[in-house]
Structure 1
Amino acid sequence: MKKSWKLFVLLVLVFIPFLAACNNSATNEEPEEEPATPTENETDTEKHKIGILAPAVTHGWVAAVAYHAEARAKELGDEIEYQIQTSTNAEEMTSQLDDLMTWGAEAIVAFPQWEGMEVPIQRALDEGVKVVNFDIAINADGVYRVSGDNEDMGIQGANYIVDKIGTEGNVVILEVPSSGSVSELRKKGFVETIEEIAPNMNLITYATQFTREDGLKDFADILTSNDKIDAVYSMDDETSIGVLQAIREAGRTDIKVVTGGGGMQEYFNMMPENEDIWIQSALYSPAMVKDAVDVALKVLNGETVDEVTIIPTTIVDRENYEEFLDEGSPY
């Protein structure tokens, strides 16, 4: 009897673990898994969508704007999705603005080079899209802007010309009305400063474009109608290259200063080659557009950003041009 009891207890001890294992198996419970790592598509949905609007390439400086904007967008690839569109007029840029909004752009970096962009940009702002204008000031409520100091470029140009030719003489101003606030502010800074420091200076204003072809054609006509010109206040390096060609082809030796603006490598290299003419450029780098892309991302991330970011003016001429030479520059 004692042996039978001991045998029964032994069998119970052996079968208890086996029965427990069978019970766990019967519940079909899976062991807990580690949380899944987000897929690439899932992480992409967390990126901000930024659209970039730039003019089509009609000018080396403009080409560099699109180049630098896209370069910065690629650098921020872990944080943003982007689309870049280029256009040839205000109507096309307006259509592209609508396309970017349909795509879901949360912010748009725009270079609205043409008049008439105020209404579509204001519509985008009213619909909650953040807009950062590069370079151009327009009448729209809530737009951010990143720009060089256009008015100061005019101030610096006036001081430079007076320093080289004195307080009297004939100075041609080449304005570009189609460029909106860019030309307006540069001319304002120039004229107001001349009126203050050289009130006897004779100012002659002509309209042109920011291209060397227009600079050549228009200034050739200006030379035929003006026997004596002491200096040229040109607002753009491309225009100035055309101006210098017109001067050379006409054989004129009266002009002592030609200013410019932008920071073009070809123009820099011309500075030491013209000993009879002081060639000047108010540095206005297209790489500033990278700051505009950064401002758009900061706004979307909820950071505090100034509505207007102004990049200071730097003057380049034959005395310091070597500091600004860059073989890798697209402009």
Structure 2
Amino acid sequence: MQRRRLGREWCWIVRGGQSGGAATPAPTEKVIGMSFPAADHGWLGAVIKNAEDEAKAEGLKYVITTAADPNKQTNDIEDLISKKVSAIVMLPIESAAMTPVAKKVKEAGIPLIVVDRELESDDFTALVKGDNTGIGTHAGKYLVDKLGGKGKIVEIIGVPSSVTTMRSDGFREAIKDHPDMQVIVSQSGDFQKEKSLNVMQNILQSQPQIDAVYTHDDEMALGVLQAIKEAKRTDIKVVTGAGGHKDVYKLIKDGDPLMQATFTYSPLMVKDAVKLAADIVGGKTPAEKVTMLEATPITKDNIDKFYDPNANY
């Protein structure tokens, strides 16, 4: 556990794997609790950084916890409840696994703002998310167009969550009227580059013909690209990603022959969640319970509007 001085405010940051708990705030203090998965992925690292930046900008006292598994995240949330924080911002590690503790937050009378991955209940005060179904729909339509409605597709999916389910469902809905578009393999890369590299290496050995790869995430796309290029496969025509990683944007900008499209899913969305927490603690009621941010297709035609080499992600 690490204590930091932020201007005139104190915050406590509890990293995954440490045994310490957050400091108990004084009864009159208003403290925001924030619970995230461990930053084993660049997108999540940017989420945590953006959450801290926004909390500082709002002048909030806050506690951040990170966890590598649902059990640890559940314990973190229960600890925040016991500390009687004024609101909790949570990005669930897994949708189903984190649903029960959300009920405990509600029963404790603490506002809960969920970001990115959804719960399997409505036990939350507000939800800020990207358009995950839209990502799958856009990717499906893009590949139908690029492949002329016919092709063998590999899908690299994420962890068990609403994000993964919706990105798969949206994709399949988009290609359903094209029977010659076949998903021949669907395997998890856990939203991680190295895992996706290994998974794709095995797929390349078992599948002699692949026309395209639809990945649920830009870092997984980077691992997939590495595997394809190392294997010197020439049958694969296109790879798509999601998330808006600046390294993927750079590949698109530079005209990479495989990495031709991705879809926005910005880690900046957590700033909206922290703003909502600040508003709620300040006595305001959210105008909407659910805020969904658009999934914009990014290709060489509009990349210059989005690429920022100095971005956190």
Please tell me the TM-score bracket, short chain as reference: 0.7 to 0.9
Code of the residue aligned with 2:83 in structure 1: it is W
Please name the residue that 1:228 is paired with: 209
The C-alpha deviation readout for 1:17-71, integer Å capped at 9, x for no partner, is: xxxxxxxxxxxxxxxxxxxxxxx99xx9876321111111100000000000111
Alignment equivalent of 1:110, drawn from 90, 96, 115: 90
Q: 1:83 aligns with which of 49, 54, 63?
A: 63
Instruction: Decide which of 237, 243, 248 is 2:224's aligned counterpart.
Output: 243
Distance 2:57 2:257 in 1: 44
Specify which of 156, 165, 173 is matched with residue 138 of structure 2.
156
Please say if residues 134 and 170 of structure 2, whose CA atoms lie closer than 8 Å, have aligned partners that are also in contact: yes
The counterpart of 1:145, out of the listed 98, 123, 127, is: 127
Contact persistence 2:157–2:191 (CA under 8 A): no
Identity %: 35
Give RMSD over aligned pairs.
1.9
Gaps of 5+ in 2: 1-7, 10-25
Shift of 1:278: 4.4
1:175 matched residue in structure 2:
157
Count residues with an aligned counterpart.
286
2:236 is aligned with 1:263: no
8 Å CA contact 1:136–1:145 kept in 2: the answer is: no
What corresponds to 1:68 in structure 2? 50
| Deviation at residue 205 of structure 1 after TM alignment | 3.0
Deviations 1:112-158 (A, max 9, x none): 12241111111111110111111111123331210000000000001
TM-score (norm. length: structure 2): 0.86
Counterpart in the other structure of 2:274: 293
Q: Distance in 2 between matches of 1:175 and 1:205?
A: 10
Q: Kindly provide the amino acid, as one letter, of the partner of residue 111 in structure 1.
A: L
1:327 aligned to 2:303? no
Three-state SS of the structure 1 residue aligned to 2:287 is coil
Greater Cα shift, 153-162 or 300-309 = 300-309
Check conservation: 1:283, 1:313, Cα contact below 8 A. yes
Letter in 2 for 1:287: L
Change (3 A) 1:285 1:89: same
Residue of 107, 110, 132 corresponding to 1:129: 110
| 1:299 CA drift (Å) | 2.8
Post-superposition shift, 1:298?
2.5
Contact 1:278–1:317 under 8 Å retained in 2: no
Aligned to 1:59: 41
Aligned counterparts of 2:206 and 2:167: Cα–Cα separation in 1: 25
Task: Structure 1 unaligned segments of length 5 or more: list them.
Answer: 1-39
SS of residue matched to 2:144: helix
